[in-house]
């Protein structure tokens, strides 16, 4: 679980311009919440959330311009708390000289963003929620199949990576092999990505580790993806019953997000890549309101009623 993000990571990901305090880019950001100091500019600091990124837009800067230079310096110094990671100014507006002075004294960088302030707030929040979110790791292979995030799980040696390689050859994209890092984006969305050391790599027994991007091109890999479906590969056994109609759906809760799961028996001669493609398309059809299992059950009920009427 990541506890902090540096201001430099924010700058590198966003392209924001450092107006001052470049030597302080190592400051830690510990929360994804953003503060737009409004009442604080009037001198009310009773509930000042100093540990948040402080975002200033046209409204705040226009109010600041109405102050005298002495008043501005007093307020800016109170804004520059030792817990404050950085200031961000939207719309490429200039930082007041008093803020630059106070921030330099307190060791706080000031960043400039091009977008309007509400967009900047949204972008920063999304970035920080992804970086600061609770994370778990799962053993498996994660691929993008027809735009659906499919995580392939199963015992070691069942054929997960080989199946993923065939899917890549068919034009689908690898997100992660062997280990998938997962975090909650919101209450309904789970995001998966590869650990940095494993990014773009896949291990095939007998060959070793291969770089998918080098062999298949940049279009064969993806950095992150929403997890939509879990496909569990399980060695076939005559003693185990597998779902035949698909009328019952198993849900796995990961970080409080429910993910549908299906189990596919692995048996000699089965083309798992094609089966997973069909599973992804079938899942998409269900999300669009069409369920083949329900259609079959309705047809079966009609047939039973028709046969019953014939026998009467």
- One of 66, 238, 241, 244 is an active-site residue; which one? 244
Is beta strand 208-211 parallel, antiparallel or unpaired with respect to 250-254?
unpaired
Q: 159: annotated binding-site residue?
A: yes
- Is 178 in the active site? yes
Separation CA 22–CA 26 (nearest Å): 9
Q: 157: annotated binding-site residue?
A: yes
Q: 26: annotated binding-site residue?
A: no
Q: 212: annotated binding-site residue?
A: no
- Is 244 in the active site? yes
Query: At which residue do the structure tokens 């599973």 appear?
Result: 279
Separation CA 14–CA 86 (nearest Å): 14
Q: 154: annotated binding-site residue?
A: yes
Neighbour-count burial of 90, counting CB atoms closer than 10 A to its CB (0-12 exposed, 13-18 middle, 19+ buried): buried
Q: Which two tokens stand for residue 281?
A: 């398309």
Neighbour-count burial of 257, counting CB atoms closer than 10 A to its CB (0-12 exposed, 13-18 middle, 19+ buried): buried
CA proximity to 52, closest of 88, 19, 1, 76: 88
Query: Where are the alpha helices (H) located in the chain, listed in sequence order?
Result: 7-14, 58-65, 69-79, 97-106, 117-132, 160-169, 212-216, 272-287, 292-311
- One of 139, 240, 267, 305 is an active-site residue; which one? 139
Separation CA 263–CA 253 (nearest Å): 16
- One of 160, 173, 200, 222 is an active-site residue; which one? 160
- One of 72, 144, 172, 178 is an active-site residue; which one? 178
CA proximity to 163, closest of 141, 146, 178: 141
**CA count, 13 A, side-chain hemisphere, 261:** 16
Q: 137: annotated binding-site residue?
A: no
Is beta strand 141-145 parallel, antiparallel or unpaired with respect to 224-226?
unpaired
Binding residues, by number, are: 154-161, 203
Per the annotation, binding residues for Mg(2+) are 161, 203
Known catalytic residues are 139, 160, 178, 244
Q: Which residue positions form the known binding site for ATP?
A: 154-161
């Amino acid at each position: 679980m990541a506890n902090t993000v540096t201001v430099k990571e924010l700058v590198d990901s966003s392209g924001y311009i450092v107006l001052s305090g470049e030597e302080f880019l190592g400051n830690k950001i510990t929360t994804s919440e953003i503060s737009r100091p409004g009442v604080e500019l009037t001198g009310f600091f009773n509930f000042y959330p100093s540990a948040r990124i402080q975002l200033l837009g046209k409204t705040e800067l226009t109010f600041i311009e109405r102050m005298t230079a002495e008043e501005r310096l007093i307020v800016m110094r109170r804004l520059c708390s030792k817990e404050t990671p950085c200031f961000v100014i939207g719309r490429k507006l200039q930082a007041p000289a008093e803020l630059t002075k106070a921030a330099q004294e307190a060791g706080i960088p000031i960043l400039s963003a091009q977008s309007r302030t509400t967009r900047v707030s949204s972008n920063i929040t999304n970035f920080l929620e992804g970086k600061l979110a609770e994370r778990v790791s799962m053993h498996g292979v994660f691929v993008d199949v027809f735009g659906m995030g499919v995580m392939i799980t199963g015992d070691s040696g069942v054929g997960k990576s080989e199946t993923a390689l065939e899917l890549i050859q068919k034009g689908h994209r690898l997100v992660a092999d062997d280990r998938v890092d997962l975090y909650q984006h919101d209450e309904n969305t789970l995001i998966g990505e590869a650990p940095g050391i494993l990014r773009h790599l896949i291990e095939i027994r007998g060959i070793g580790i291969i770089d998918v991007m080098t062999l298949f091109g940049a279009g064969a890999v993806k950095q992150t993806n929403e997890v939509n479906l879990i496909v569990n590969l399980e060695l076939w056994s005559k003693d185990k019953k597998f779902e035949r109609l698909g009328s019952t759906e198993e849900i796995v809760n990961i970080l409080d997000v429910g993910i549908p799961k299906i189990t596919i028996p692995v048996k000699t001669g089965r083309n798992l890549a094609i089966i997973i493609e069909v599973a992804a398309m079938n899942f998409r059809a269900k999300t669009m309101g069409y369920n083949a299992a329900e259609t079959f059950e309705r047809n079966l009920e009609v047939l039973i009623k028709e046969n019953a009427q014939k026998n009467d």
